Structure 1
Amino acid sequence: MENRARYILVGLFTLAVIAAGFAFTYWLNTAGALQQRSYYRIRYQNSVAGLLVGSAVQFNGVRVGEVTALDLSPDNPKDVVVTVAITPSTPVRADTKAGIAFQGLMGAPAVALAGGSGAPLSSETSSADMPVLVAEPNAGETMTEAALAALHRVDAVVSENAAPLKSTMANLSKFTDALARNSDRVDGILAGIERMTGGASKAQNAAFDLAAARTFPKFEKPAVGLLIVQYPIAAAMLGQDKILIRDAGGLKPFIPEAKWSDMLLEEVQSSFVRSFENAGFLGQVSRPVEGATPDFQLVTDIRNFQILAGTPATADVEFSTKVLNSEGHVAGARLFHANSPLHSEDAVGAASALNAAFGSMLPDLVVWTSTTIGNVASTPH
């Protein structure tokens, strides 16, 4: 009985070993190293540094096999022939591109296959007579090699153009020296160009006011009622805010940047009103007011308000005034005219001279207007 039991155990062990051998053989032919593979040779025309037997083979980024051999080409010492084994279902075409990919910045290199739309490339299941793919010329070039090649090309360009570069640097040195010697003049030239193209910031315009009379000769102040100072009339050129000059070329702005603080006619009207108020007619004189019925009106016509070019230049101011009664009839009329020399031929000198000429007539205007109104009031109707 003991002998039979021993034989049974030996038999069972033998059957188990045979079953395990069959299972191992099946694994090798399906998922293991003896699985059916397709073999290809890839010819690289430069270095394949870092590529080893067992390195991965990828098709469009998917691992499909591994490198089985690395050989130098006997026909061309520059070429390296890499033998790869990949799964038979990999769609390798005659125009499939071969290269080397790096897994990460510092990762191990792998054979990279990509694309292809031509006819399928016949494959072999053994290492004899394998089809050949030719890699792109720079397929095995690393980033370091590419950088060195670029630097070599730059160095070659610089070497070939050494003489022109030297001449250019010498001319640039001369130009910078000349620019340094004329730096003050360059600032002026640039400022002129900026003004010519309209890019310069506009200077702040100087604005001037017409003064009102404050001192008057003694005169009798009549009962005026309401005196309305009408808006003056003048030629269109005089109706702006520019200080004007008349020379051989006609009437034009004296200094474009200089102007009155308001339109000239507004300034004249305001100066008239303030002069009458300063003379004691406060509450009895006004600009036109809607609904107000004036007892008298002061109507003014500006004839001249300008600088006359000459040696010396003078300010010339001339205006006529009319006093109208409540019925609109002319109660009196007078022409006022005055000149004043310019003490300086600039905006301040021009404004001061015009103010002096205009202001010298304001006391006479107030006294004459008051006298005219008094004569009308004393005349029996």
Structure 2
Amino acid sequence: MGRSGVEFLEMFDKTIGKRLENPRVANGSKLELGVFGSTLKKLVVGAVLLGGLAGCGASGPEALYGLTAPRDVPVKVRASDYQVLVATPVALQALDTSNIAVTQGGGPIYSYFPKVAWTDTLPRVFQAKLVETLENTGKLRGVSQPGQGLLIDYQLQTTLRAFELQVDGGDKAYVEVAARIVDDRDGRSIGMRMFAASVPTTGDTVTDAIPALNAASDNVLSQIASWSVNTVGRIPRSKAAAKRAELNTQETAGNRQVAAVAPAMTEAAKGN
């Protein structure tokens, strides 16, 4: 609680607080407030204390950190017509946060660096950089996140299993991600793989951890992007063309239905 809060409590106790303890009406007769007066005083004091504590916790992190997206991704296939949606990564609550995690050798107990944070929750930061990495390959017709309205062929689903500084005598940044490619039409899994990378650090401070975490993340992002593009790129183009033609036919049929109904709706509106 700040100085102003202390000063307010002192002033309250000398004035209103004293009157609550010994209240009197206009003619000087003593007024019995009993438990009410004591309770009111406690409520005021509690409100001031809560306000002070809220003020103490309101300050945000002193520094925000992001991740980079690798630009040179090894890809063995030609550009395809596929469009891929990168789903929001799944993570345990310990990692589904903007806090930067530290563990003892990858153990079950998590702690976090104080006064610093990722620029968003870790899954959203990783998702954005995975989209950017896939775009950097130049091998896909389109890459998007949920809600962006792209006509999707495949989903890239990921689970963040580890993304932390591990301190156990040999400090290192460690990133581990499970990835799955799913056909968006029928939900069939096309492939699944685990990706991991570790980068040693020279210490256990946040300035040691961030470059190492970024390097490990870059490694994993590059692996996932390379595997994803190579996997979908090997699917026969005839299947891609057939699927896209089917979707285009459905879209065209829907547009025709709308066009057929529109005149009747217009006439009905005029009649009203």
Residue 275 of structure 1, CA deviation: 0.4
The 5-angstrom pairing of residues 178-217 of structure 1 reads: 202=59, 204-217=61-74
For these two proteins, the number of residue pairs brought into alignment is 186
Does structure 1 residue 353 correspond to structure 2 residue 198? no
The alignment status of 1:221 with 2:78, answered yes or no, reads yes
Q: Which amino acid counterpart does residue 187 of structure 2 have in structure 1?
A: G
1:300 matched residue in structure 2: 158
- Report the secondary structure of 2:146's partner residue: coil
Contact 2:175 2:220 (C-alpha < 8 Å) held by counterparts: no
**TM-score, structure 2 length as denominator?**
0.61
Shift of 1:327: 1.9
Alignment-derived partner of residue 121 in structure 2:
263
2: CA distance between counterparts of 1:315 and 1:368? 22
Query: Deviation of residue 238 (structure 1)?
Result: 0.7
* 8 Å Cα contact 2:84-2:156 kept in structure 1: yes
Q: Distance in 2 between matches of 1:362 and 1:204?
A: 26
Partner of 1:334 in structure 2? Answer: 193
For residue 357 of structure 1, give the secondary structure of its aligned residue in structure 2.
helix
Structure with bigger strand share is: 1
- Give the residue type in structure 1 aligned to 2:233: G
CA distance in 2, matches of 1:201, 1:234: 26
Tell me, in whole angstroms, the C-alpha distance in 2 between the residues paired with 1:263 and 1:200.
19
Give the superposition deviation at 1:378.
5.0
Unaligned runs of 5+ in 2: 1-52, 243-272
Structure 1 residue identity aligned to 2:175: V
State the 1:289 CA deviation.
Answer: 2.4
Question: 1:274 maps to what in 2?
Answer: 132
| Amino acid paired to 2:171 | A
Asked if 2 retains the 8 angstrom alpha-carbon contact of 1:242 and 1:253, the reply is: no
Q: CA deviation at 1:343?
A: 2.4
Given that 1:224 and 1:295 are in contact with CA atoms closer than 8 Å, whether structure 2 keeps it comes out as: no
Counterpart Cα distance in 2 of 1:254 and 1:265:
16
**Structure with the largest fraction of helix:** 2
Gapped regions of structure 1 (runs ≥ 5):
1-195
Q: TM-score, normalised by structure 1?
A: 0.45
Name 2:32's counterpart in structure 1: none
Paired with 1:329 and 1:256, the residues of 2 have a C-alpha distance of: 43
Q: Percent identity?
A: 28
How many angstroms does 1:316 deviate by?
1.2
For the residues of structure 2 that align with 1:222 and 1:235, how far apart are their CA atoms?
Answer: 35
Q: CA 1:254/1:236 → structure 2, altered by over 3 Å: closer, same or farther? A: closer
Give 1:207 shift.
0.9
In the alignment, what sits opposite 2:232? 373
Instruction: Tell me the C-alpha RMSD between the 2 structures.
Output: 2.8
**Post-superposition shift, 1:200?**
10
Change (3 A) 1:261 1:378: same
